[in-house]
Amino acid sequence: MLEKKDFYSLLESRKSIRKFKKDPVPKDVLERILAGAMQAPSGKNRQNWEFYVVQGKKRDQYLKHSQHSWLGIKDILKERLKPSLYDFTERFFFTLGDAPVLLFAFSNNSTDEKYLTSIGSVYMAVENLNLACLVEGLGCCTMGAPLEIKDEVVEFLGLKDNPKIKSGELELLCGVVLGYPDHNPPKAPRQTEGRVHWLE
């Protein structure tokens, strides 16, 4: 059984990785990570997640879209980041940090479940995936940037004519890059002040 200290140490050691070795990730490792992701809870047990895994030449083709997504967030980041970190982040968007695997998470939305519950269920699965990567010796970075170019991503994945996409039932929520880490960045301090409210 997992010791409490080991569990909390795992949570504390999770951080976003943006520079990777080019080594491929074995398929059995990816399958374990995805199986772990799908152990997450979900509203009405609908298990409404769908994942698209992109590797190889298809991954390389996505770089032009990643570069396009940068245009939608670069001005905001310029205000928030130190110049050196801003430059590093820009390079990441142009190379995806050499991550060999891209993953796109979608939510299957339905009128029989509240919208926020549906997307929240998928994000819980994505967090499971983050922790599974850590256990497997991988790093990852969850990205909202693909939402800047949602239509492009949908077309890139060959889903443009999917009836569930057209109806809005199937919705892109985020991207994840993953692979073996090639740096060990500091983790941003956790902001806990004013985040928890006790009522008695």
Question: What is the pLDDT at residue 2?
Answer: 73
Q: What is the pTM of this model?
A: 0.95
Number of structural domains found in the chain = 1
pLDDT digits (tens, 9 = 90+) for 108-123: 999 999 999 999 999 9
> What CATH number did the domain enclosing 163 receive?
3.40.109.10
- DSSP labels, 64-131: HHHHHHHTTTHHHHHHHS-HHHHHHHHHHHHHGGG-SEEEEEEEE--TTS-HHHHHHHHHHHHHHHHH
For residue 16, give its domain range: 11-179
What is the tens place of the pLDDT at every residue in 79-88? 999 999 999 9
pLDDT in tens, the chain (200 residues): 778 999 999 999 999 999 999 999 999 999 999 999 999 999 999 999 999 999 999 999 999 999 999 999 999 999 999 999 999 999 999 999 999 999 999 999 999 999 999 999 999 999 999 999 999 999 999 999 999 999 999 999 999 999 999 999 999 999 999 999 999 999 989 999 999 999 99
Residue 59 in any domain: the answer is: yes
141 in any annotated domain: yes
The average confidence (pLDDT) of the chain is: 96
Nearest CA to 151 out of 171, 177, 122 is that of 171
Which of these, 122, 106, 101, 114, lies nearest to 42 by C-alpha position? Answer: 122
